[in-house]
């Protein structure tokens, strides 16, 4: 080998398209209080949520994903990608994955298409997966969609969970580029702890419940969460993950212009910001208007903040998520010049 041979630089994944889409139907706290033993003041003070969007009967996750994906492609100014990743906890069916049908409906048949499951951390795991496809040369352009219809798995009479979750989809397009250009995603921290799988579950519908036999009960068919324990884990794991990503990048907390966390609960987001010594004003939150939208929450929060010019080109962002599994993850980027579609 000649000693002066240089290997080509590994391509970085650069964000070049962004969009969010929520179903039109809005459910306010007051509307929930008509059927649940709760009230607007309790929901607002405990969660920061005022309303959420809910899919129509018959509307599935792929429908939301297609809507967001189409707008993200438009924002990126492209109609072709090499891979489509859908990250969701509410796939259309247990089999097959949701991404192939989404790709085909977007006119992207032939592209690689698969789902990533990491519950509410899905979007950050999806970003890392897309970055890996681009770094390995498998893809030059990737459409990543976070989409969830929690209304299809939450028991509408469960007052603890029905108040928190909303439906929605957010999408980004990533292209091959250079690590030092605005929009390059990097310095990932990803983690998990399966010892706490019972904290967030849908017990039935998978091989565990089928292997043990018996008809699933009403409770087993619905989403269950041990809220107080989840709350504690969310604060400590998100703060730790954010710190790891910052130290990997050599950033100080003060270098972060905007902290864009998974929108779990406003109190969780503020506690994480406090733990990091980050002024709460730098925490981007749209949970009041959409609730917790699972894998869609970070791209929806980004699209909303960019559309309102709260986030501008050149500003430095820390994205951090936490979800069932348990799973958590963070990554950093400098915001690029781009026009989101909402
Ligand atoms: N309206 C009114 N009261 C309610 C209620 C509701 N919607 N939901 C629960 N309560 C009641 C409880 O029954 C309990 O009553 P009790 O003291 O008589 O037993 C009381 O309010 C306090 O319940 P608790 O569960 O301790 O409340 P909390 O302050 O922990 O808030 C959550 C509950 C679910 C909002 C909170 O635990 C939370 O946000 N957890 C994390 C959820 C999350 O972010 N999940 C996503 C992670 S990705």
The structural domains of the chain, with segments of one domain joined by +, span 12-177, 186-334
Would you say the C-alpha torsion 29, 35, 41, 45 has a positive or negative sign? Answer: negative
How would you classify the pairing of strands 26-28 and 51-53? Answer: antiparallel
Q: Active site includes 95?
A: no
- CA of 43 from ligand 1 middle (Å) equals 9
Closest ligand 1 atom to 119 CA: 48
The pLDDT tens digits for 98-127 are 999 999 999 999 999 999 999 999 999 999
Q: Active site includes 331?
A: no
12-177 belongs to CATH 3.40.47.10? yes
Fold designation for 186-334: Peroxisomal Thiolase; Chain A, domain 1 (3.40.47)
For residues 258-262, average pLDDT: 98
- Local confidence band at 311 (pLDDT 50, 70, 90 cut-offs): very high
How far is Cα 321 from Cα 197, in angstroms, rounded to an integer?
Answer: 17
Q: Which of 16, 29, 53, 120 is catalytic?
A: 120
DSSP state of 204: S
For residues 75-82, average pLDDT: 96
pTM of the model: 0.96
- Same CATH topology for 12-177 and 186-334: the answer is yes
- Local confidence band at 214 (pLDDT 50, 70, 90 cut-offs): confident
Asked whether the beta carbons of 318 and 242 are under 8 A apart, the reply is yes
Q: Active site includes 283?
A: no
For residues 68-97, average pLDDT: 97
- Local confidence band at 342 (pLDDT 50, 70, 90 cut-offs): low
Determine which residue's CA is closest to atom 43 belonging to ligand 1: 264
Closest by Cα among 205, 50, 71, 224 to 150 = 224
Q: Among 46, 226, 264, which is best to mutate for testing ligand 1, by the most ligand atoms less than 8 A from CB?
A: 46
């Amino acid at each position: 080998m000649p000693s002066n041979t240089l290997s080509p630089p590994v391509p970085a994944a650069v964000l070049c398209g962004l969009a969010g889409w929520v179903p039109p139907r809005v459910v306010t706290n007051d509307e929930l209080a008509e059927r649940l033993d709760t009230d607007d003041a309790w929901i607002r003070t405990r969660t920061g949520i005022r309303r959420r969007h809910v899919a129509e009967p018959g509307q599935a996750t792929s429908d939301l994903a297609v809507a967001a994906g189409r707008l993200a492609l438009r924002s990126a100014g492209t109609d072709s990608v090499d891979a489509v990743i859908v990250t969701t906890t509410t796939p259309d069916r247990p089999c097959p994955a949701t991404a192939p049908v989404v790709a085909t409906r977007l006119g992207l048949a032939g592209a690689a298409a698969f789902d990533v499951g990491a519950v509410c951390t899905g979007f950050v795991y999806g970003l890392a997966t897309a970055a890996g496809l681009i770094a390995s040369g498998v893809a030059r352009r990737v459409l990543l969609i976070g989409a969830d219809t929690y209304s299809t798995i939450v028991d509408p009479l469960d007052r603890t969970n029905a108040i928190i979750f909303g439906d929605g989809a957010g999408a980004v397009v990533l292209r091959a580029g250079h690590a030092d250009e605005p929009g390059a995603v990097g310095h990932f921290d990803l983690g998990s702890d399966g010892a706490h799988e019972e904290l967030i579950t849908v017990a039935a519908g998978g091989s565990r419940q089928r292997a043990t036999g018996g008809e699933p009960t009403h409770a087993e068919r619905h989403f269950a969460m041990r809220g107080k324990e989840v709350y504690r884990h969310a604060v400590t794991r998100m703060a730790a993950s954010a710190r790891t990503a910052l130290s990997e990048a050599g950033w100080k907390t003060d270098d972060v212009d905007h902290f864009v966390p998974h929108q779990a609960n406003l109190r969780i987001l503020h506690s994480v910001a406090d733990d990091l010594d980050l002024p709460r004003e730098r925490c981007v939150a749209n949970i009041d208007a959409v609730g917790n939208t699972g894998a869609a929450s970070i791209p929806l929060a980004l699209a909303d903040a960019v559309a309102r010019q709260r986030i501008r080109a050149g500003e430095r962002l820390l994205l951090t998520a936490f979800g069932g599994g348990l799973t958590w993850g963070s990554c950093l980027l400098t915001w690029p010049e781009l026009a989101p579609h909402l």
